[in-house]
Amino acid sequence: MAAALTLIGVDFTSAPRPAKPITAAFGRLEGDAVVLERVEKLVDWPAFESLLMRSGPWLGAFDFPFGLPREAVVDLGWPTTWPELVRYCAHLGKTAFRAALDAYRETRPIGKRYAHRATDLPARSHSPLKLVNPPVGLMFLEGAPRLLAAGLSVPGVHAADPHRLAVEAYPGLLARRITAESYKSDDKHKQTPERRTARTRIVDAIGAGHGIAGIALHATQAQQTALIEDASGDSLDAVLALLQAAACARAGAPHYGLPPDVDPLEGWIAGA
C-alpha cells in the first residue's frame, strides 16, 4: 500500500504570495528510498486548496501545527474536540484569535508564557501559541481549517477521507539530526556561503539515508542542485517533510508511525 501512495511534503507559510509561496515536493516510495518527482510552488490559497482536493491515494506531511496545547484550550474555555476547535478558531478570525492569545499569554508566569503541546518538547518545536518569529499560531489558523474543510483524514486526530491523509511535519527535526548549523534565510543579506554549505551537507546526508528511518532521497543531480541553490530553504524543507511523509507511509495504518495515544486535540509531529 505504501508504494502505491503519492507522497507530498509541504513547506507552509501563513501568507502565500509569489515572493514566498507554499512549496510542495512530490515523490513515491521505492524500497528504502523516496524518489523525488517534482517540486511545485503554490502562490496563493486557491492553489493550496486545490492541492488538498487532488484525488488520492496520497499522504501529505505539512509543516504547520495541526492543534493547540490542551492546557491553553481548557484555560480559554474553547471547544475540546479538534473539529469544533478548528471551526471555532476560524470563526474568530485573525484579529480576535491574535487578541485572545496575547491576553492569555499575559495571564501566565514569566518564563512560561507559552503553553506547549506534548509533541513540542521532544520535537523542540515552537508553541502553536507563538504569533511572531515564526508565526506558528497563524500557520495553525490558516492551515488546520483548510485541512478540515478539504475532508482529509488526520491519523490520531480526525477520520474522514481514508485516501487523503495528512500528518504534521517539522523539517527542522530532521535537519538538526544532520547539522546544528543554520541552513536557510529569507533575508538575502543572510544567504551566506556557510548556509549553502549546510544545505549541501543536508542534501548529501538525506541522499545517503541519514535523515529518517533509513529512508534515502533519490534525486537527480539537477534536483539536488536546485535544493542547494534555493537559499530560502523552502524547497529543502518541503523535501525534508516529504521524507517524514515517507516514514509515516512505510509505518502504515492505523497509526502511521505516530504514538497510539496521541492527544486528538493536540496532534503529533511525525518522527518526534
pLDDT range class, residue 3, cuts 50, 70, 90: low
Sign of the dihedral through C-alpha 230, 234, 239, 244: positive
Give the mean model confidence (pLDDT) for residues 135-144. Answer: 97
Three cell numbers, residue 46: 486557491
Q: Are 57 and 163 in contact (CB under 8 A)?
A: yes
The predicted pLDDT at position 212 comes to 87
Look at residue 196 and tell me whether its pLDDT is greater than 70.
Answer: yes
d(CA 253, CA 250): 9
Phi/psi for 61 (5° steps) reads -110, 120
pLDDT range class, residue 4, cuts 50, 70, 90: confident
User: Across the chain, what does the average pLDDT equal?
Assistant: 96
The predicted pLDDT at position 213 comes to 84
Q: Global pTM?
A: 0.96
DSSP 57-109: SEEEEESS-SS--HHHHHHHT--SSHHHHHHHHHHHHHHHHHHHHHHHHHTSP
Three cell numbers, residue 107: 495571564
